[in-house]
Amino acid sequence: MANKKSYAVIGLGRYGKAVAKELLQNGAEVLAIDMDPDVVNSAARAIPHCKCADVTKPGTIKELGIADMDAVIIAIAGNIEASVMATMLCKEAGVKNVIVKCANSLHQRMLLKIGADQVTFPELESGVRLAKNLVSAGFVDIAELSDEVSVVELEVKDEWNGKTLVELSLRRKYGINVVGLRKEDRLMINIDPEMLLRKDMTLVVIASKQSLKKLV
């Protein structure tokens, strides 16, 4: 995978471990962190880089090198105070993308107010799905139709800007089938193949997971 990305996953419950494992399987570098040494020792069997640390303590983020990660996933919704503190410290340290699992709508509002870039409800988004979105190249959303085929909203890449679907020949080059186009929250199914694509559009495509990897 080009430009291998690095992630920190804080909290190794079922959700956190699912995120970490999926990221690893997709070639990312992952640092997994939990306060419980037993949890860390158990997770280390599947996740090579595990640390036992309290990220709510000032200085821990810097010591672990978390500030340089492409994204940090905080999966400790069961402890709202720790979740909020970890989020705040990550943003203060300069983490570019902080994604936090939340417990309820109040927790969500608190997290957004202190700078969380994305808040997820585990009932609505699985850890595996979150990880797939993170490692995908410009994928806005993924819905799996089967183990091999997905529906994806794909951002218009820089090199596609100002070109038409006819010019791009995405099916021939990448094996992806464009079935819709989203523009300003409006989804169009009947697409003019001669329409010029713009960066503010997303393409809705159906493709095999193998084909999607060609876009990374």
Give pLDDT tens digits for 116-147. Answer: 998 887 654 566 666 666 666 555 555 555 66
Q: How far is CA 41 from CA 18, 49, 199, in A?
A: 16, 11, 45
Which of these, 160, 141, 134, 147, lies nearest to 204 by C-alpha position?
Answer: 141
Q: How far is CA 79 from CA 17, 84, 85, in A?
A: 17, 9, 10
Task: Please provide the distance, in angstroms rounded to a whole number, between the alpha carbons at the two ends of the chain.
Answer: 7
Rounded Cα distance between 51 and 32, Å, is 6
Q: And the tokens for 19?
A: 């995120």
Residues ≥6 apart with Cβ < 8 Å to 193? 164, 165, 166
Q: Categorize the per-residue pLDDT at 213 as very low, low, confident or very high, splitting at 50, 70 and 90.
A: confident
* Structural domains of the chain, ranges and CATH numbers in brackets: 6-134 (3.40.50.720), 137-213 (3.30.70.1450)
Beta bridge partners of 186: 183
pTM recorded for the entire structure? 0.63
pLDDT digits (tens, 9 = 90+) for 6-34: 999 999 998 899 999 989 988 899 999 99
Alpha helix stretches (DSSP H) within 26-169: 37-43, 60-63, 80-92, 105-113, 127-135, 165-168
Q: Are strands 139-144 and 118-120 parallel, antiparallel or unpaired?
A: unpaired
Band (pLDDT 50/70/90 cuts) for residue 88 is: very high
User: pLDDT tens digits for 139-191?
Assistant: 555 555 566 777 777 888 889 999 999 999 888 888 888 888 888 767 787 78
